[in-house]
Chains A and B, each alone.
Chain A
């Protein structure tokens, strides 16, 4: 792990995503020198480099490598500030509006599916698997877009109390959610955890899959161009071994999601969560292509139930 070098090291070989890049770099013979992409992190609607100036090298299927930001605890700190500032306004948007924004992410993803397929292939997927994953990811966004203005009708209740009061329970977003994305899934896993969290008005800080971070950065660009307000989704790249504890111990994170099969990480996450009685959800690897991994109950994981009483009188 290179920790000191402040500048980006160019990939030995350009990435084979050139079909969708205009420079025709790589597969097409040309005298022109290609313009390489710098992969950055996504905080508060902007694309900074990690404040630490560190990077890690992500090896691609063709043997080339790209430099990804090796985010630091300060990047998490900055992301939490952004997420906290954005949360109330995001939650106050109408459910219809949030629904359209999630749908918009789906639209943008669909139009850039070729790029994502190419990236997934470069990350090791077969072309067919990559196509299925991207299509499922788009469909998943549309699925959760549809839930935005419906889940509260499923999870709320009017409660028949034995006194002259109108009493109802409705859900509210828990607030700021820290998420450690599935390691094995570059795009679909990421979408599958972000979408239900933001559908209800939470804002998220996500640590992308360390070994498949490429698609996460591109997803940031999609989110950036989909009317998602700054700070609602923040995506970092880096090492979970270094950053997981920063999520679970941060006192201004309300809920934490960790996808892991590692019992020690599960225990550590749940232990740390007690610092501020964080809601912790730790689950193992999933087959995200399976429709059972999409559910309004995943939205409920990041909801609080609020019960309101008011007298009935004249």
Chain B
């Protein structure tokens, strides 16, 4: 201990903190031996596995290894029609008239079965989608189970949710989900639909079909009546067949604003109800009186969680000028401790980009940002030579006019701006067609309420970021969509209030 000297301290003063040279974590891969992936998956229609009428299949690959995991059936209009017919039949003959308390028990069973098979789901989710096993294990899968558990309890209590009203189910819900939280989004969609007495035709994203198909196995195990949930796999054309099917009563979509607008147009005049959870470009605002170290954590969770493939990602950072230097320094240091690489490694913080297509898009934005004159900073991590990876990235010295500030990148890329006054940051935060979420960091209570009230966004995290819970309604303002998922408010899109 006596070795500590003034000289040593002086040397340290010029040096940045070193996060890489000691105590390197050995690989800690999660075993995939427990997860069963079949070589080929059919469509799940009316409680059975059905070959696609096209007889076409597409490969699903692991984005971290680029290896083919399985072949997935591609549903065409005829298959979707079959699925909708099965859902309609199940709705009319079984589900609509089943007492809520009995519906609830099926949904509870599903929740329990997910808990029992949690590890298998987590492993497959990470293999198929590229997200770190830590996240699929600690976030996606437990939240999916919790979502079913939460909504199960609503099934026989709907009359308490909407005072003065007598809510009834809509019929068949067509649900189209994205690739960023495959199982969790399936839960967000299916659980409230079933609890409210609707039946479902669900299409997972084409790059991440596996956990939805595993969920179908579990529906069989749960004894869910045939046709109550049907899973049809495929790409955009399959989704369009669902959206345009005349016997669908409701569309629930999570995905890009562009596709959301196409859907909104497609169902115009049809009487179909819709819930749209679309894109975002959320402001995450750090005031100088914020708990800065926790704010840095919030910035990291805001943009690097799930490789930034999060519609509510805090992708626009606003730091008050007085603390901008120290916050950026802390942020850069924190980025050094992010482990980037194999999604199956239990220590990985940032896994694989979901597809080569998405990686291409992100890389295009990196070029755009550089060409726009923003200063790009990336952590010093090494990324695997195989698979689709992107280093955690900052763009410093950006402005509202930059495309990397205006457009949703859907990757681990954060655009940083500084601000001086409260009015300035409120104006800039709301200066976007999106309105899904926002973050506000300050120690002052009254300022929190002022800011959270003024953010034009459906979810506002104050002194925290990217928190999700089945009891908490989620959804956007403006072009981030409409309708809410989660909580009491998440029932409404699946009900008719009489």
The number of chain B residues touching the other chain, given as a range, is 35 or more
Please give me the residue from chain A that is nearest to B453 by CB atom.
A172
Pair A267/B278 contact, Cβ less than 8 Å:
no
Stretch of B49-57, B65-73, B356-364, B465-473 lying at the A interface:
B465-473
Pair B452/A308 contact, Cβ less than 8 Å:
yes
Does A46 reach chain B (CB closer than 8 Å)?
Answer: no
Question: Would A157 and B489 be within 8 Å (CB), given that A270-B268, A277-B264, A309-B461 are in contact?
Answer: yes
CB contacts (< 8 Å) of B452 on chain A: these are 306, 308
Does B165 reach chain A (CB closer than 8 Å)?
Answer: yes
**Cα distance, A304 to B261, chains bound together (Å):** 19
**Cα distance, A275 to B461, chains bound together (Å):** 28
Closest chain A CB from B279 CB (angstroms):
10
Closest chain A CB from B444 CB (angstroms):
12
Per-residue A-contact encoding for B461-484, CB less than 8 Å = 1, 0 else:
111100101011111011111101
Stretch of A160-168, A192-200, A227-235 lying at the B interface:
A160-168
**Cα distance, A70 to B10, chains bound together (Å):** 80
Closest chain A CB from B84 CB (angstroms):
22
Please give me the residue from chain B that is nearest to A172 by CB atom.
B453
Does A297 reach chain B (CB closer than 8 Å)?
Answer: yes
CB contacts (< 8 Å) of A307 on chain B: these are 458-460, 472-474, 487
Does B130 reach chain A (CB closer than 8 Å)?
Answer: no
Does B276 reach chain A (CB closer than 8 Å)?
Answer: yes
A-B contact count (CB 8 A): 117
Does B39 reach chain A (CB closer than 8 Å)?
Answer: no
Question: Would A163 and B269 be within 8 Å (CB), given that A154-B163, A306-B459, A307-B459 are in contact?
Answer: no
Q: Which of A273-314 contact B (CB under 8 A)?
A: 273-277, 279, 295-297, 304-311
CB contacts (< 8 Å) of A163 on chain B: these are 467, 469
The contact of A276 among B269, B276, B463, B479, by CB within 8 Å, is B479
CB contacts (< 8 Å) of A305 on chain B: these are 458, 473, 475, 484, 489
The contact of B463 among A268, A269, A310, by CB within 8 Å, is A310
Pair B464/A297 contact, Cβ less than 8 Å:
no
Does A113 reach chain B (CB closer than 8 Å)?
Answer: no
Does A23 reach chain B (CB closer than 8 Å)?
Answer: no
The contact of B497 among A174, A270, A297, A311, by CB within 8 Å, is A297
Pair B469/A310 contact, Cβ less than 8 Å:
no
The contact of B472 among A169, A172, A271, A277, by CB within 8 Å, is A169
Closest chain A CB from B239 CB (angstroms):
16
The contact of A277 among B165, B260, B488, by CB within 8 Å, is B260
Please give me the residue from chain B that is nearest to A155 by CB atom.
B489
Per-residue A-contact encoding for B160-182, CB less than 8 Å = 1, 0 else:
00111100000000000000000
Does B433 reach chain A (CB closer than 8 Å)?
Answer: yes
Does B324 reach chain A (CB closer than 8 Å)?
Answer: no
Q: Which of A217-275 contact B (CB under 8 A)?
A: 254, 263-264, 266-271, 273-275
**Cα distance, A133 to B462, chains bound together (Å):** 48
**Cα distance, A309 to B465, chains bound together (Å):** 8
CB contacts (< 8 Å) of B262 on chain A: these are 274
CB contacts (< 8 Å) of A271 on chain B: these are 265, 268-269
Q: Which of A17-75 contact B (CB under 8 A)?
A: none
Does B457 reach chain A (CB closer than 8 Å)?
Answer: yes
Closest chain A CB from B283 CB (angstroms):
14
Does B399 reach chain A (CB closer than 8 Å)?
Answer: no
Does B146 reach chain A (CB closer than 8 Å)?
Answer: yes
The interface centre, meaning the residue of A162, A163, A306 with most chain B CB atoms within 10 A of its CB, is A306
Does A159 reach chain B (CB closer than 8 Å)?
Answer: yes
**Cα distance, A43 to B480, chains bound together (Å):** 30
CB contacts (< 8 Å) of A311 on chain B: these are 463-464
**Cα distance, A252 to B470, chains bound together (Å):** 33
Please give me the residue from chain B that is nearest to A279 by CB atom.
B482
Does B115 reach chain A (CB closer than 8 Å)?
Answer: no
The contact of B146 among A162, A279, A295, by CB within 8 Å, is A162
Does B379 reach chain A (CB closer than 8 Å)?
Answer: no
**Cα distance, A89 to B488, chains bound together (Å):** 30
Per-residue A-contact encoding for B430-457, CB less than 8 Å = 1, 0 else:
0001000000000000001000110101
CB contacts (< 8 Å) of A159 on chain B: these are 469, 471-473, 487
CB contacts (< 8 Å) of B164 on chain A: these are 295-296
**Cα distance, A112 to B269, chains bound together (Å):** 40
Closest chain B CB from A267 CB (angstroms):
3
Please give me the residue from chain B that is nearest to A167 by CB atom.
B472
Closest chain A CB from B424 CB (angstroms):
16
Does B257 reach chain A (CB closer than 8 Å)?
Answer: yes
Q: Which of A135-194 contact B (CB under 8 A)?
A: 154, 157, 159-163, 165, 167, 169, 172, 174
Q: Which of B214-240 contact A (CB under 8 A)?
A: none
Pair B473/A165 contact, Cβ less than 8 Å:
no
Q: Apart from A162-B469, A271-B268, what 5 extra A-B contacts exist at CB < 8 Å?
A: A159-B473, A161-B472, A268-B268, A277-B278, A307-B472
What are 28 A-B residue pairs whose CB atoms fall within 8 Å in the complex? A159-B472, A159-B487, A161-B469, A161-B472, A169-B472, A169-B484, A169-B487, A268-B269, A269-B268, A274-B262, A274-B265, A274-B268, A275-B261, A277-B261, A277-B276, A279-B482, A297-B497, A304-B458, A306-B457, A306-B459, A307-B460, A307-B473, A308-B460, A309-B459, A309-B472, A310-B448, A310-B464, A311-B464
User: Chain A interface (Cβ within 8 Å of chain B)?
Assistant: 154, 157, 159-163, 165, 167, 169, 172, 174, 254, 263-264, 266-271, 273-277, 279, 295-297, 304-311
Instruction: Return the 6 tightest CB-CB contacts between A and B, nearest first.
Output: A267-B269, A270-B268, A274-B264, A161-B469, A271-B268, A274-B265
